[in-house]
Structure 1
Amino acid sequence: MSAASTPTVEAGEVGLERDIFLRRLLRELAGTLQDVVGLEEASGYISVVGAAMGEHIDGEYRRALAVDRLSREQVSTVLVDLKRRIQGDFFVVEETEDRIVLGNRACPFGELVLGRPSLCMMTSNVFGSIAAQNLGYAGVALSQTIAQGHPECRVVVHLRPSENAEPGVREYFRRDDAG
């Protein structure tokens, strides 16, 4: 191949841009945590980040809507909208006074979420933080996740504590010093 026909670095077909780089970075960080400290501990670390993200996103929506607190209907709409904005495909399956059930056909992490269930703590904590901060309480259950190989996610956001809660529900409570 002559120098004239050799592609330049800039023109080379390299599957790299900011979005894929950041998703792959998070995948590798989650995988490393899962391998080093185990799934439960890795999920705990990612939960801390998810809670901070939830607080930030909640503040953004409350400012945009010019409200001190979101209503249940607004919380439901916000949960779907925030995932839409980051290329998820969440939708409301059921909404009652006691719970919001969401489905999801596309993970914002794309195929990079496979085998990284600790990344699902982002969804749990973002949803839990927003719902609890506005409604006082949230119990989030990740019933099915794409990360675990299911074709879709199923997320249940309980809005009231229950003694009959399904296994794996993570509880979130309103922080007095926020919102």
Structure 2
Amino acid sequence: MDAQIDLDRDVFLRTLVRELATSLEAVVGMEEASGYISLVGQAVGNQIDDMYLEALGVDRLTAEHVAEALVDLKRRINGDFHVIEQDDTKIVLGNRACPFAEKVLGRESMCMMTSNVFGTIAARNLGYARVELRETIARGDAGCRVVVHLTPGSGPADGREYFGDADLPSAPPADVVPA
């Protein structure tokens, strides 16, 4: 059949995720839907973090490498994230294109994927993260502004907290470059 329709694997999968989020939001509400999506985001964050650790041959990423990994992973899935600002207490990221494209509009629960992937990677490597979604394309903003707080109590209390494994050694100093 030679039907001219906009359908490929990417469109299908983005539509699938949107409809799963829509169904969850309708059945259990926004907060619970965000919670379910958070579980998926945490599992995905663990897998992606493992990929970066293995590829770089390190046990932990520095804060600078966490920021680079967050930007890189979003680039690989057609996001357009960039670091706006970074210091010892936070990483501020901007974004001009959501990997879910137009499918994210009106589905804020889908932003939990970003929150949990970012929070999981940052906390696993640095011990703690609180992800604040200040602006999101899903809410109708022109872009996203995501703040990953790296120390408890820094910045406003908004956002979702993530904790690393207390048994891991502390992260290497910022000036240590992975081998």
The match for 2:149 is: 158
| Match for residue 70 of structure 2 among 72, 79, 90 | 79
Determine helix, strand or coil for the equivalent of 2:138. helix
Q: 1:140 to 1:70 in 2, by over 3 A?
A: same
The share of aligned pairs that are identical, in percent, is: 61
The match for 1:40 is: 31
The match for 2:109 is: 118
The match for 1:5 is: none
Matches within 5 A, 1:51-66: 51-66=42-57
The match for 2:174 is: none
* Structure 1, unpaired ranges of 5+: 1-8
The match for 1:6 is: none
Which amino acid counterpart does residue 174 of structure 1 have in structure 2?
G
Root mean square deviation of aligned Cα: 1.4
Counterpart-to-counterpart distance in 1, 2:67 and 2:19: 31
Determine helix, strand or coil for the equivalent of 1:64. helix
C-alpha displacement at 1:16, in angstroms? 1.1
**Equivalent pair of 2:37/2:113 in contact (CA under 8 Å):** yes
| Match for residue 131 of structure 1 among 118, 122, 126 | 122
Q: Does 1:67 align with 2:58?
A: yes
Moved more, 166-175 or 116-125: 166-175
Q: Does 1:148 align with 2:142?
A: no
Q: Summarize deviations over 1:113-154 as a string: whole Å, max 9, x none.
A: 001000000000000000000000001000010000000100
The match for 1:3 is: none
Which amino acid counterpart does residue 87 of structure 1 have in structure 2?
N
Q: 1:31 to 1:63 in 2, by over 3 A?
A: same
* Structure 2, unpaired ranges of 5+: 170-179
The match for 1:175 is: 165
Q: Does 1:99 align with 2:72?
A: no
Q: 1:150 to 1:93 in 2, by over 3 A?
A: same
Bigger radius of gyration: 1
**Equivalent pair of 2:128/2:151 in contact (CA under 8 Å):** yes
Counterpart-to-counterpart distance in 1, 2:167 and 2:33: 27
Which amino acid counterpart does residue 161 of structure 2 have in structure 1?
E
Q: Summarize deviations over 1:11-62 as a string: whole Å, max 9, x none.
A: 2212111000000000000011011111000000000000000000000000
Counterpart-to-counterpart distance in 1, 2:158 and 2:86: 20
**Equivalent pair of 2:126/2:150 in contact (CA under 8 Å):** yes
Q: 1:95 to 1:26 in 2, by over 3 A?
A: same
TM-score, normalised to structure 2, is 0.91
